[in-house]
Amino acid sequence: MATLKDVAAECGLAVSTVSRILNNRGYISDEARQKVNDAMRRLNYYPNELARSLHRNNSGMIGLIVPHIMHPFFSKLISCIEESCCRRGYRLLLFNTQSVEDKEAEFMQICSRNRAAGIIMCTGGLSVKQFKDFGIPVITIERSIEYGTASVECDNETGGHLAGELLWKKGCRKVLHFGSIDSYRMPADQRYLGFAEVCAARGMECIRIPSNAEAFQKMEYREEIESALLRYPDADGIFANSDVIGAQILQVCRKLEISVPDRMKVISFDDTLPAINTTPRLTTVTQPISEMAELAVRLLEDVTQGRIVPVKNVLPVSLTEREST
């Protein structure tokens, strides 16, 4: 592949001149510019980004670390982040921890060694205490802040409120909550807290059915749903922490011949693909995923440029009513 040196030789100028033309800085005569552009075209020259990155000590890549790729919430988040990166001229480096905590630090290392412009962490583990050590800004999404540069999350608590109020309004008196994971502490825990608050205020009986991390990783909640539904046959409403869980609740209800929404109201969280490809379609708390993604990337850009950014960023949620309530 042609290098700057080749181009310089081809048109009888110095490498530095060619570089200057490439980057449009300093004084350049039209004649030189023309000659260089011609030569570049002729030699099919494209700059080596590795060399550039090395020089500026920044690869212009953003490392995205998620615990899951196939999960609809994360696949949507990844998609949105890719889009924001692309629009702002960053490249996306994707890592999946599969909830294995050790990988978290390992991937951050890789990003650091490759001089990533920033890291977006969506991982729930608590393992990495030394964010700052990597010398790279770290934005967390839906993860407790701790030592990151800034965090982005949705208003989980209000999401819980909205769900609780809707179930109450629809006449529920005994409700179940699915999908909190006890082994991690994360912003999503607030969903249950907000929900439970409303239940307490309204006098609605509320039962929390926690999931384990394995269920999340396998996206397989049916057994726990079924046993809960059998244990609480008089429950008349459910709030689930994700659409995946919501969809599986619908399946179990069909199986147990519990009609939704007549005998059981279901609200899920996220508003991703599964929420609209089921029958009935799921009422859900909509996370502004696209905005969260855009904000995360923008924060990274702002931090890089030395601007001061809010350390905690909470975006509003909304209720999207469909047919399951």
Partner DNA sequence: AAAGTTTACTCAATCGTTTTACCTCATAAG
Partner DNA sequence: CTTATGAGGTAAAACGATTGAGTAAACTTT
**Cα(295)–Cα(309) distance, rounded to whole angstroms?**
11
- One residue of 31, 234, 257, 262 binding DNA per CB under 7 A: 31
Q: Give the bridge partners for 120, in sequence order.
A: 64, 139
Residue 155 per-residue DSSP state: -
**Alpha-helical segments (H) within the chain:** 4-11, 15-23, 30-43, 49-56, 72-87, 101-113, 156-169, 189-202, 213-218, 222-231, 243-255, 273-276, 289-304
**Does 259 contact a copy of itself by CB under 8 A?**
no
Toward DNA, which CB reaches closer, 15 or 94?
15
Cα torsion angle, 162, 163, 166, 171, sign: negative
Residue 1 per-residue DSSP state: -
Q: Which does 170 bind (CB under 5 to 8 A by kind): a copy of itself, DNA, none?
A: none
Of 135, 116, 113, the C-alpha closest to 62 is 116
**Cα(190)–Cα(151) distance, rounded to whole angstroms?**
15
Q: Which does 277 bind (CB under 5 to 8 A by kind): a copy of itself, DNA, none?
A: a copy of itself
**Cα(302)–Cα(304) distance, rounded to whole angstroms?**
5
**Does 51 contact DNA by CB under 7 A?**
yes
**Cα(45)–Cα(52) distance, rounded to whole angstroms?**
14
Whole-number minimum distance, CB 53 to DNA, in Å? 9
Cα torsion angle, 143, 194, 244, 222, sign: positive
**Does 14 contact DNA by CB under 7 A?**
yes
Toward DNA, which CB reaches closer, 20 or 103?
20
Q: Which does 254 bind (CB under 5 to 8 A by kind): DNA, a copy of itself, none?
A: a copy of itself
How many Cβ atoms are within 10 Å of 320's Cβ, its own excluded?
Answer: 16
**Does 213 contact DNA by CB under 7 A?**
no
Whole-number minimum distance, CB 84 to a copy of itself, in Å? 11
- Sole window of 64-72, 118-126, 143-151, 158-166 interacting with a copy of itself (rule: CB under 8 A): 64-72
- One residue of 2, 22, 92, 309 binding a copy of itself per CB under 8 A: 92
**Cα(199)–Cα(267) distance, rounded to whole angstroms?**
14
Q: Give the bridge partners for 305, in sequence order.
A: none
Whole-number minimum distance, CB 2 to DNA, in Å? 7
**Does 250 contact a copy of itself by CB under 8 A?**
yes
- Sole window of 54-62, 151-159, 224-232, 313-321 interacting with a copy of itself (rule: CB under 8 A): 54-62
Buried b (16+ CB within 10 A) or exposed e, 118-146: bbbbbbbbeebeebeebebbbbbbbbeee
**Does 180 contact a copy of itself by CB under 8 A?**
no
Give residues in contact with DNA (CB under 7 A): 1-5, 12-17, 19-20, 22-23, 25-29, 31-32, 45-48, 50-52, 54-57
Where along the sequence are the contacts to a copy of itself (CB under 8 A)?
1, 44, 46-51, 53-54, 57, 59, 61, 68-70, 72, 75-76, 78-79, 82-83, 86, 91-96, 109-110, 112-115, 133, 135, 219, 244, 247-248, 250-251, 254-255, 272-274, 277-279, 281
